[in-house]
Chain A
Amino acid sequence: MTKLKHFLITLSLFLINLPLWAQAQQRFPKPEFETGYVQPPTTTPDPRALFLEYLDVFVLIAALAIVSWLALKKRSRSGIFWMSVFSLLYFGFYREGCICSIGAIQNVALAIADPTYVLPLSALLFFIIPLAVALFFGRTFCAGVCPLGAIQDLVAFRPIELPKWLQKVLGLIPYLYLALAILYVVTKSDFIICRYDPFVGIFRFDAEFQMLLLGGLFLLVGVFVARPYCRFFCPYGVLLGWMSTFSKKHLTITPSACIQCKLCANSCPFGAIEEPTPAGSNRKQDVKRFMVYLLFIPLWIGLGGLSGSMLHVPLSKMNKTVYLANELVENPELINDQEHIDVVTFMQSGKSMDELVIEAKQIQSQFYWGGWIMGAFMGLVIGLTLVKLSSHRSRQDYETDKTNCLSCGRCMDYCPVKVNDKMLIMSKK
């Protein structure tokens, strides 16, 4: 009897084992239902369709083209404004802030650093296209395509002008942010740009309380200091600024010759209009100062690199593995803590403490060398900023500062010279 029963059990088990999923033995074999019960399927709602991702790319290209046209050809501030509202709605509220060119920096950096990382083509396109456009037409991306810029632009009711020194000092932050973001990505620690994106929570109607608070704060500050994130934080703005500085064409205040009416002088909320400056009085002294600052650049690089490398210990604590290793080494009693999820999981993972510490030390050494590079980069940035501040270029007209101009087109409205006049002048010639 028992044998028969055993045979039946074995037989039924073999039958159940036939399907592929049953590679692994289960504790409770699936019953054979007698009532004709049909097992419901496990639902798997599809992710967003792939063609929609490429639609985003298309919208990006189209929006860039339109904004560039509006800024350079049509010279319509209101057109750019409405495009930015559209982008805010599409890339901001509809796409919920993801995918975005600013964050794409990290994907591209990780793809270069980590051979196993797969980079979605759409992310690469989002990174490349605005940069390429900036190389030809200036930062039109900032003007009317970036949703983060758009939301700040909307609330810039009472912009005040910041003193130049403050602008320059705060202007160093984006470089630091960019360097840190790449450092954390390359060490596979974190995507800090996405993590500390102040507006993505607003786009999603949902975020951690602190992040929403930060977003609100940025908007509040943005009422008085126009586009604070774009000017003083955005790491992508750094790259766009480089491109824009040497752009082939760029938005101009006036469609033809400046008539020195000074109407535009106070129009730019971003401090991106260069005023006419007379030729320097003491050229010899200028050159000397310029050379001194130029010679100081290597010193800045060295100092920066050294201090960056010194920072590797505190910086590396953002890394999960390093943090856990630190915690366990400092508080060995934690391994008894059944409430500490990370420790418990680590203890169960089968990894030994030695392995963990070795891994953490490897990451720390990445931070050490990354710190050198990051610090040297920051040193170079400071050095070059100083060089630029000590060079003197005489200028007769009001011109845009191509690096920092966001191509928003506000100044165009102030310029009394219109395209028609330009035609007039041309025809008169």
Chain B
Amino acid sequence: MSNKEKNKSNRREFIQKGMRLSLGLSIAGVAGISALRVNADDYVWQLDPFKCVSCGRCADHCVVSPSAVKCVHAYALCGYCDLCGGYLKPNANELSTAAENQLCPTAAIKRKFVEEPYFEYEIIEDLCFGCAKCVAGCTAFGNGSLHLQVRHNLCVNCNECSIARVCPADAFERVPASQPYLIKGDFTAGDDHA
């Protein structure tokens, strides 16, 4: 090998080494800066039911179908009303479980008699697809115990929730996986639950 070529290859080696070092340092730098914001916990999506406007987009915009957002029932807040704004259509024909009176398009709410004059309402999650019709009804006329929430057994936890992108009320947020639910009654509006 001639001397000249040797020099050349040495020089190349040197450049390579220098670049490698600086790239390594920049990786370390990026890692260091972002390490300031790191949390060892995982983060999962939830929607703030107090911000939710029941627009119905959760049903259409989730990457899984039917949507991973379902109606949940915070029983602790329920008034167990006979005339339930979440169960019955407005101007319902009568207070019964007949199809013509039910608000839910998939009949995903089960109405069970408890005692006079109280009824329990149970969500059948397999049927619910998150259209929020009952949520709108319950919020407008009742206690708002029916509300939407991301169900973690269904949610695939996308990096950016595709519903969050279209949510008109900016109700979606990431919460630590160690406290994975914002269920009404467990927290009140304005709580710092981020």
Contacts and interface: CB of A to CB of B under 8 A. Distances in A.
Judge A-B direct contact (beta carbons within 8 Å).
yes
Nearest to A205: B64
Interface stretch (A7-15, A47-55, A166-174): A47-55
Interface in A210-234: none
Given A121-B38, A345-B55, A27 B79 contact: yes
Nearest to B80: A31
B20 A194 contact: no
A33 B147 CA distance: 23
B42 interface: yes
Given A118-B174, A342-B168, A30 B34 contact: no
B115 A131 contact: no
B146 to A, nearest CB: 11
Interface in A92-143: 96, 98-99, 103-104, 106-108, 111-112, 115, 117-124, 128, 131-132, 135
A103 B156 CA distance: 15
What's the interface size class on B, roughly?
A: 35 or more
A201 B165 CA distance: 17
B23 A345 contact: no
A320 B176 CA distance: 25
A314 interface: no
B177 A47 contact: yes
Given A31-B80, A34-B115, A44 B63 contact: no
A346 B169 CA distance: 8
B127 interface: no
A47 B159 contact: no
Contacts of A35: 114-115
Interface stretch (A243-251, A300-308, A410-418): A243-251
Given A37-B115, A119-B38, 15 more contacts: A26-B143, A30-B79, A30-B80, A42-B183, A45-B153, A47-B180, A99-B159, A108-B34, A111-B38, A112-B33, A115-B37, A121-B40, A195-B160, A207-B63, A246-B19
Contacts of A40: 75, 120, 122
A24 interface: yes
Question: Chain B interface secondary structure, helix, strand, loop or mixed?
Answer: loop
B168 A135 contact: no
Nearest to B177: A47
A65 to B, nearest CB: 18
Contacts of A29: 79
A115 B27 CA distance: 19
B37 A111 contact: yes
Nearest 9 CB-CB pairings of A with B: A28-B79, A45-B153, A191-B160, A345-B168, A47-B152, A246-B19, A111-B37, A21-B185, A111-B34
Nearest to A208: B63
A39 B75 contact: yes
Contacts of B122: 40
Nearest to B187: A21
B44 interface: yes
B107 interface: no
B183 to A, nearest CB: 5
Residue of B23, B77, B120, B176 with most partner-chain A CB within 10 A = B23
Interface of A: 19, 21, 23-24, 26-31, 33-35, 37, 39-48, 50, 53, 96, 98-99, 103-104, 106-108, 111-112, 115, 117-124, 128, 131-132, 135, 190-191, 194-195, 200-201, 204, 206-208, 242-243, 245-248, 320, 341-342, 344-346, 348-349
Given A27-B142, A128-B31, A341 B177 contact: no
Contact of A122 (B37, B42, B169): B42
A242 B76 CA distance: 57
Contacts of B96: none
A248 to B, nearest CB: 6
9 contacts: A21-B185, A40-B122, A44-B180, A45-B151, A47-B180, A111-B37, A194-B160, A341-B168, A348-B53
Interface string B63-97: 11100000011111111110000000000000000
A415 B143 CA distance: 74
Contact of A124 (B23, B31, B42): B31
A204 B42 contact: no
Interface string B85-122: 00000000000000000000000000000110010101
A245 B63 CA distance: 37
A194 B90 CA distance: 41
A66 to B, nearest CB: 22
A163 to B, nearest CB: 28
Chain B CB within 10 A, most for which of A117, A118, A208: A118
Contacts of B157: 47-48, 98
A190 B19 CA distance: 33
A242 B115 contact: no
Contacts of B20: 135, 246-248
Interface string B143-163: 100000001110111111010
Nearest to B185: A21
B188 interface: yes
A341 B55 contact: yes
B37 A119 contact: yes
Nearest to A402: B16
Nearest to A39: B75
B41 A117 contact: no
Contacts of B181: 44
Given A47-B177, A195-B160, A246-B19, A190 B39 contact: no
